[in-house]
A and B are shown apart, each in its own frame.
Chain A
Amino acid sequence: MIKFEDVTKIYPPDTIGLESVSLHIEKGEFVFLVGASGSGKSTFIRLLIKELEPDRGRITVGGRDLSTLRRWKVPYLRRNIGCVFQDFKLLPNKSVFDNVLYALQVTGNAGGASRRKVTEILGLVGLGHKTANYPDELSGGEQQRVSIARAFVNHPPLLIADEPTGNLDPDTSAGIMQLLYRINKTGTTVVMATHDREMVDRMRRRVIALEQGQVIRDQKRGGYGED
């Protein structure tokens, strides 16, 4: 599903984002990306959706080499990657319902079937009663759930979450983890960047640890820290 081959990203002039990262993530895996602040987790994710270009190396997503992917095709790549951002990135002028619907509208689907899908997924993330609200009327956890609903409403083969539980209380975090777990069960590959030590230790999934842009550990069933 995802292949990094000796990928390096330097932010001008000389800040290391990622350095010589090579890794392989299989279809259907659940992967935690851990590491201190500034270790390169967000850089990894932004490279995956071609928001950034690597300075060296090759990235392949779903069999497509991103370096040869034409600019105008990038939107089609992104429709196949559900993305949950640390800062939610919801459209402020749209209701909860319309925010989620937008992910379907960009693919040219806006009919009754799409509306039913949106209602269904908002029910699934527990926001069936707030569909008409605007993002600034929601709590952080609720906004994060809207953002997950938007990322998953297309049923993309790959879901990426950048610290989705970053600033949420433990109960809400657990709820969101449950959601991602269930999404992974449907066969979707999930990559999640996180600082949440407890969560990672409890889940016992694959852990990729970054430090100053380099992979320092890649364990099949790891914990947040060294065992």
Chain B
Amino acid sequence: MAKISFFFGEAFRSLWRNYFMTIAAVVTVLLTMFVLGVVMVFVWNINAVLKDVEQKVEITVFLKDSATASDIETIQKEILGMPEVKDSQFVSKEQALERLKADLKEHQDILKDLPSNPLPASFEVSLKDPQQASLVAARFEGRSIVDEVRFGKEIAERIFRVTSVIRNVSLVFILLLGGVAVLLISNTIRLSIYARRREVEIMKLVGATNWFIRWPFVIEGLTVGLSGAILAVVMVVLGTNFVIDRIRENLLFLSVPFDALPLWQLGLVILGVGAAIGAIGSGLGLRRFLNV
């Protein structure tokens, strides 16, 4: 207990006495974590848009007019029983016509003279994982009451190709940026340790163990990493809210699900990364000077 308070005392005294280094290190963490945070917000939003696009891949199963009510009920049950299916909506011939009328708006006169309803009844099946569309669609092919199965195979596959490229690129980008952040921060730490290498040497000559010397440095690194990260989180949250408000005001038609953005999770990630880089960076940066 006495030791722990000693280590914290040492750490904070040194942060205070080397305040210039402390500020430089906090600012480094703040800037790198802020950039990382902003990029993560962007990637998260891009991802949300991509998911939205992917969800539009639906299977439509058109039924023949000969299908009876009991046929429809059986197939409805079967569809809902499939593990890949999220939801299924039955659209009767009448509903299909209503929809068409709604879509046509003022031009709906052209439907007036129809002798009978030409539109087929259908099931609109949405999937938990849209990538499985062709697998599920294949199950309906060739049924006696099924007229046609449609899911925009070509378009769906193209969408998935594009989204996966975008996802991989942004992942690589985040990893690269994270790597740069680690390098920058650990370099700052190494500089501040280098400035104090003689102190470390003296401590060793007086009989301090490596961990006795290391703990205050680790606590210092943790403090710097955490303070920089907290400031970065505050800036990212404020900045994001500001930008979202502007977008809401000016681009009302955009259907991006901003609200679902888990800012507090992002904050935790940034705090964790900042604290870990600070603490581990200090601990490792010291290694070279402990071999006296």
B206 contact set on A, CB distance < 8 A: 78, 83, 102-103, 106, 150
Q: Interface SS of chain B: helix, strand, loop or mixed?
A: helix
- Complex interface: stretch among B85-93, B164-172, B196-204, B245-253: B196-204
8 tightest A-B CB contacts, nearest first: A79-B207, A78-B207, A106-B208, A75-B209, A89-B202, A75-B207, A106-B207, A93-B17
| Chain B count of residues within 8 A CB distance of the other chain | 19
B13, chain A: closest CB distance, angstroms: 7
A51 touches B202 (CB 8 A): no
A49 to B207, CA, bound (A): 10
Beyond the given A75-B204, A105-B6, could you list 6 further A-B residue pairs with CB under 8 A, ordered by the A residue number? A51-B292, A89-B202, A91-B199, A103-B207, A106-B203, A106-B206
| 1/0 contact string of B49-78 vs chain A (CB within 8 Å) | 000000000000000000000000000000
A residues touching B (Cβ–Cβ < 8 Å)?
A: 49, 51, 72, 75-79, 83, 85, 89-93, 102-103, 105-108, 110-111, 150
* Closest chain B residue to A106, Cβ basis: B208
A72 to B201, CA, bound (A): 15
B210 contact set on A, CB distance < 8 A: 72, 75
A161 to B35, CA, bound (A): 54
27 A–B contacts from the bound complex (CB under 8 Å): A49-B205, A51-B292, A75-B204, A75-B207, A75-B210, A75-B212, A76-B207, A78-B205, A78-B206, A83-B206, A85-B205, A89-B201, A90-B202, A91-B203, A93-B13, A93-B17, A93-B199, A103-B206, A103-B207, A106-B203, A106-B206, A106-B207, A106-B208, A106-B212, A110-B2, A110-B6, A150-B206
* Closest chain A residue to B13, Cβ basis: A93
